[in-house]
Amino acid sequence: MNDFEEYLSHILDDVADSNVKDAMQYSLMAGGKRIRPRLLFATLKAYGVEESLGYRAAAAIEMIHTYSLIHDDLPAMDNDTLRRGQPTCHVKFGEAIAILAGDALLTHAFLLGASATKDAKVNSAIVYALSDYAGANGMVLGQVKDLEGESKENLTVDELKDIHFYKTGKLLTLPMLCASYIAHRENDCDAWKKIGNEIGLSFQIQDDILDVTSTVEELGKNINSDVENNKNTYVSIMGIEDAKKEAEFYYEDAKKTMHQLDLNPKALDEIFTLLMNRKN
């Protein structure tokens, strides 16, 4: 990942200097687990494809993820002041610049997607997926459902799953889909959609657990924010122990589906294990 991190650090070099560029760079390079690029690279490796061929697509997805965090932290959304152990973008640069930085990262992602590979058909598929999975039928829809859910006193587990199918699962499915396009293994897309959905559910359940069991230092962001915002979570509905069992079930089922595909599962097994044991 060091090579990709270096690549990512220069991805905005051609962008005109401004406060918006500074805010984009600040948020993009603030650290984080780089889960989505890792998933893309592990999928390429499983297919026997050089991971550097996915750098541009991975950078596009990481830009979309970063923009979503910038906007999610805004006072109108979750009103968070800490992200990855540092002041959130709007705290550092002001709300207006933070909004524009998010807008610019999202837009730049499509520039990268449109030139992700030397194959125009693959690039077209990647751009379509970026639009579909990040937009009003994808992650944004999940954000809307999440906001609407806050006005309800008691959500059901099925309603919560529906929120995170879109809010979390879509962006975790996206890198595996892009990798399958780059590897010309489009026939596996349905399997990756199932796997991405299950990873997304487990990932979100873990987030809910960590929000009440971790520390600010470990998590890199404010803890107990869900409780303070009276949000429905898997922990508030199911309790910690049942939530943990649910998270393990979805990861194991995702692994089972992945092992049915014609690929070398080692790299993906390592990522799934990393996800299952994460502390932040």
User: 72 in helix, strand or coil?
Assistant: helix
In this prediction, residues 25-31 reach a mean pLDDT of 95
In this prediction, residues 214-220 reach a mean pLDDT of 62
Average pLDDT over the chain, rounded to whole?
92
Q: What is the dihedral of CA 231, 233, 238, 239, to 10 degrees?
A: -80
In this prediction, residues 138-158 reach a mean pLDDT of 89
pLDDT band at 150 (very low <50, low <70, confident <90, very high): confident
Which helix (H) or strand (E) is 41 found in, with range? helix 35-46
Q: What are phi and psi of 151, to 5 degrees?
A: -85, -5
Instruction: Give the pLDDT confidence score for residue 229 in this predicted structure.
Output: 57
Instruction: Give the pLDDT confidence score for residue 232 in this predicted structure.
Output: 82
Tokens representing 92?
């550092």
In this prediction, residues 177-203 reach a mean pLDDT of 96
Instruction: Give the pLDDT confidence score for residue 2 in this predicted structure.
Output: 85
Q: What is the pLDDT of residues 111-125, one digit of tens each?
A: 999 999 999 999 999
pLDDT band at 221 (very low <50, low <70, confident <90, very high): low
Instruction: Give the pLDDT confidence score for residue 272 in this predicted structure.
Output: 92
Pairwise CA distance, residues 267 & 90, whole Å: 36
Instruction: Give the pLDDT confidence score for residue 215 in this predicted structure.
Output: 63
Instruction: Give the pLDDT confidence score for residue 32 in this predicted structure.
Output: 84
Instruction: Give the pLDDT confidence score for residue 130 in this predicted structure.
Output: 98
Q: CB–CB of 103/66 below 8 Å?
A: no
Q: What are phi and psi of 29, to 5 degrees?
A: -105, 20
Q: What is the pLDDT of residues 48-98, one digit of tens each?
A: 999 999 999 999 999 999 999 999 999 999 899 999 889 999 999 999 999
In this prediction, residues 191-215 reach a mean pLDDT of 90
Give the residue among 188, 262, 221 at the shortest CA–CA distance from 91: 221
For residues 193 and 216, the model is more confident at 193
For residues 105 and 210, the model is more confident at 105
Lowest mean pLDDT among 61-75, 137-151, 215-229: 215-229
Is the pLDDT assigned to residue 224 strictly greater than 60? no
Tokens representing 12?
């905005």
Instruction: Give the pLDDT confidence score for residue 260 in this predicted structure.
Output: 96
pLDDT band at 231 (very low <50, low <70, confident <90, very high): confident
For residues 274 and 213, the model is more confident at 274
Is the pLDDT assigned to residue 218 strictly greater than 80? no
Is the pLDDT assigned to residue 276 strictly greater than 70? yes
